[in-house]
A = this chain, B = another copy of it.
């Protein structure tokens, strides 16, 4: 096992990784920008190194600084968390060259899955169901029309290098295809410096369901059930649950085994998530995230596994310590992302936390790096904590979630806690009847309230 792990991230996920290391007896190095000198994980780490000024490009994305921090501390592995350098193939490559372990898959797997077109081709090759669409990039208007006709309207035009909803356009019929193509190309160029786009079937009311997979890079891989992350605002997940209220056991087993088999064949190493749109019983591959997800705790709650510990074990060369038969799903779990944002307008609300009381008791987990007196810096995303609640069934989980949210006190800043309390009053949420558009519609309809 590793002696000392450098945590190349910040916020709640840095603390999450630190906890796993500590529980495995591994020393920790926290790297941080000048804005994060007082962060919880920095205070708790065995060592810390300031790597740059507040802008992430000069600190958390600064590869030379992070490698230098490994050198001066003697860290033998880096855990990248999520975001930042977690899916940067070059970073994984450089660490390898410096003989520092990267807690994640191989640079090659990161690269393949980081390219939307190659990812889709690979998925199809591995037997993972993909959404019907162009096999590769589409550039001309004539080609776009031809592909769209084959795929069937409505279609979606997406930037090949994209993410976060930028460079995405829907064409409901052939009249709209020319404008949609041009707009998508222009946006893609502006946002990613690359106007390559592709076309696929547009799904009207899909759910976002993702399969957690785990491999050891030695040909063993398992699936750890799915997460339903359909409740999104501007393509940002807000609420995640496991298992999905929409799937039955047979569907779960089928898509899960397909994904696990694919990962075994790929010799994938570590944690990964294969994201799907799900509509009318069919799964359509969106992308694969080659890292830990924000919402991994709901999977931990229903499986009893510690995914970060498993990541560290596998990265250190161990084989998977369990087989598919060892995995059973217990009860139901929901995660709410607590953001420092106005719950109505979603305007970020950085500032000092003057009062804090986090919920406790049976079935309640809080992952958060904030503390009384902590100032949330304005430079990074607004996620300040995650409330994860587990119950024996979905109903108990919902009741417990309401109870826990009612105990949560964060003073001095706005948070999204009131939004979740409102969601818990909605029959659709209680019944698990929602798709990826539900939340946007709800917010639009209730904007005045």
Contacts and interface: CB of A to CB of B under 8 A. Distances in A.
A219 interface: no
B360 A331 contact: no
Give the top 8 A-B pairs by smallest Cβ distance, nearest first.
Answer: A360-B366, A23-B399, A22-B403, A19-B361, A23-B400, A357-B371, A23-B403, A300-B362
B15 A361 contact: yes
Interface of A: 15-16, 19, 22-25, 44, 297, 300, 304, 306, 330-331, 355-358, 360-368, 371-372, 392, 396, 399-400, 402-403, 406-407
Given A371-B357, A400-B23, A362 B365 contact: yes
Given A23-B400, A400-B23, A330 B304 contact: yes
A273 B401 CA distance: 30
A372 B396 CA distance: 29
Contacts of A363: 306
Contact of A22 (B15, B366, B406): B406
A407 B44 contact: yes
Nearest to A392: B304
Contacts of A360: 358, 365-368
B372 A355 contact: yes
B372 A357 contact: yes
Contacts of A304: 330-331, 392
Contacts of A330: 304, 330
A214 to B, nearest CB: 15
A396 B23 contact: yes
Contact of A406 (B44, B358, B371, B400): B44
Max count, chain B CB within 10 A of own CB: residue among A25, A362, A368? A362
B362 A399 contact: no
B306 A362 contact: yes
24 contacts: A15-B361, A16-B361, A19-B361, A19-B362, A19-B403, A22-B399, A23-B396, A23-B400, A23-B403, A24-B399, A44-B406, A297-B362, A304-B330, A306-B363, A306-B392, A355-B372, A356-B372, A357-B371, A357-B372, A358-B358, A360-B365, A360-B367, A361-B367, A364-B365
A25 B372 CA distance: 31
Nearest to A388: B362
Contacts of A306: 362-363, 392, 396
Contacts of A406: 22, 44
A232 B402 CA distance: 37
A304 B304 CA distance: 11
Contacts of A356: 372
Contacts of A300: 362
A44 B16 CA distance: 30
Contacts of A361: 15-16, 19, 365-367
Contacts of A366: 360-361
A406 B371 CA distance: 15
A176 B403 CA distance: 58
Contacts of A372: 355-357, 372
A411 to B, nearest CB: 10
Max count, chain B CB within 10 A of own CB: residue among A16, A330, A357, A402? A357
